[in-house]
Amino acid sequence: MAEPAPGVELRICPPRGRIDLRGDPADPAFPTAVAGVLGFELPSTPNTSRSAGAATVLWLGPDAWLIETERAMEAAVAERLAQALPDLHCSVAAVGDGSVAFSVSGPRAADVLAKGMTLDLDPARFRAGHCARSLLARIPVLLHRPGDDFIYEVTAARSYSEYALDWLHDAALEYGDAAGSS
Amino acid sequence: MLLIPCPWCGARDESEFTCGGEAHIRRPADPDALDDAHWADYLFMRANPKGSHRERWCHSHGCGRWFNVERDTVTHGIVSVYRMGEPPPGGDGS
Ligand SMILES: [Zn+2]
């Protein structure tokens, strides 16, 4: 007899590049210089992301963004940003090694996350392109829903990643955690 | 548990926030001119009203921003929320 399709799949995402970017969006030179490097504008709407080409930018705060790239591109993109922002009051830091991303996907993905988060994960509220820093099972995480699918990315500090994965596996158990044996 | 409307992120659970105590406390313009009692008053003494209270809160596990909350200490009802540098909606916050 065929196994029922799992309600949730958990995966550890491959290592990716991450650049922590801070600057004053009110200084027109800053967003312009960043857009010149990335090829698109920084998202200014709170808790949203923007993606094009090889980069995804997540809004972290009114003057803070996280740029996600391929792992091999991190240093080069950080270097190009630093060169494009020489005299501005801003900061560019490559931080990819510091955290780990998990993919939580499937029709019950939001139910698993909701067990440990206070965010409103109603699919109509936490829509495609939404992101938020919050707490998952008491640890700080960055949650991102890249598209319309029920795929959520949870980014946690590397030092918390084992705990986070254990917690997610346990929370997903009742929905048929497809990665439970991995 | 409070549901606090961050000026940037919207309503979020209290567990994401840090309370920074009474808002609108001004550092004395000339600290050297103060005697110990007045300096202690600036450093340590805080209002403890029964009712409306203006407080600083930080969305520490969200956008990381400090802002002001006017909260009723009896009902926990949040009367208003305003950003740093903005005048309180009810006035008299300078
Ligand atoms: Zn916020």
* pLDDT classification of B92: cutoffs 50, 70, 90: low
**Percentage with pLDDT > 70 across chain A:** 94
**Within 10 A of B9 (CB to CB), how many other CB atoms are there?**
21
B16 has a pLDDT exceeding 70: yes
Residue among A51, A46, A71 nearest A131 (CA): A46
What are the residue boundaries of the structural domains of chain B, listed by start? 3-25+38-83
CB contact under 8 A, B8 and A46: yes
Tokens of A116: 């440990």
Q: How far is residue A7's CA from residue A102's CA, in Å, rounded to a whole number?
A: 16
Output the CA angle A149-A152-A155, nearest 5 degrees: 155
A48 has a pLDDT exceeding 80: yes
Across chain A, mean pLDDT equals 94
pLDDT, tens digit (0-9, with 9 covering 90-100), for A108-158: 999 999 999 999 999 999 999 999 999 999 999 999 999 989 999 999 999
Edge-to-edge strands, sheet with A99-105 = A9-12, A99-105, A151-157, A139-145, A130-136
- What is the per-residue pLDDT for B53? 97
Is B81 in CB contact (< 8 Å) with chain A?
A: no
CB contact under 8 A, A134 and B16: yes
**Percentage with pLDDT > 90 across chain A:** 90
- What is the per-residue pLDDT for A178? 66
B36 has a pLDDT exceeding 80: yes
A181 has a pLDDT exceeding 50: no
What are the residue boundaries of the structural domains of chain A, listed by start? 9-13+98-177, 16-96
Residue among B42, B45, B20 nearest B29 (CA): B42
* pLDDT classification of A96: cutoffs 50, 70, 90: very high
* pLDDT classification of B1: cutoffs 50, 70, 90: confident
Class of domain B3-25+38-83: alpha beta
Across chain B, mean pLDDT equals 94
**B72 to chain A nearest CA, in Å?**
23
- What is the per-residue pLDDT for B93? 53
Runs of H (alpha helix) within chain B: 36-44
Is B2 in CB contact (< 8 Å) with chain A?
A: no
The CATH label, of 3.30.70.1520, 1.10.10.10, 1.10.3720.10, 1.25.40.10, for the domain at A16-96 is: 3.30.70.1520
Q: How far is the CA of A45 from the centre of ligand 1 (A)?
A: 12
- What is the per-residue pLDDT for A3? 61
- Range A139-161 burial, b when 16+ CB lie within 10 A, else e: bbbbbbbbeeebbbbbbbeeebb
Average pLDDT over residues B38-47: 96
Chain B residue closest in CA terms to A141:
B61
Please, which residues have CB within 8 angstroms of residue B44's CB and are 6 or more apart in sequence? none
CB contact under 8 A, B15 and A118: yes
Domain A9-13+98-177 in CATH 3.30.1360.120: yes
- What is the per-residue pLDDT for B67? 98
pTM for the structure as a whole: 0.93
This model of the complex carries an ipTM of 0.91
Chain A residue closest in CA terms to B62:
A133
- What is the per-residue pLDDT for A6? 81
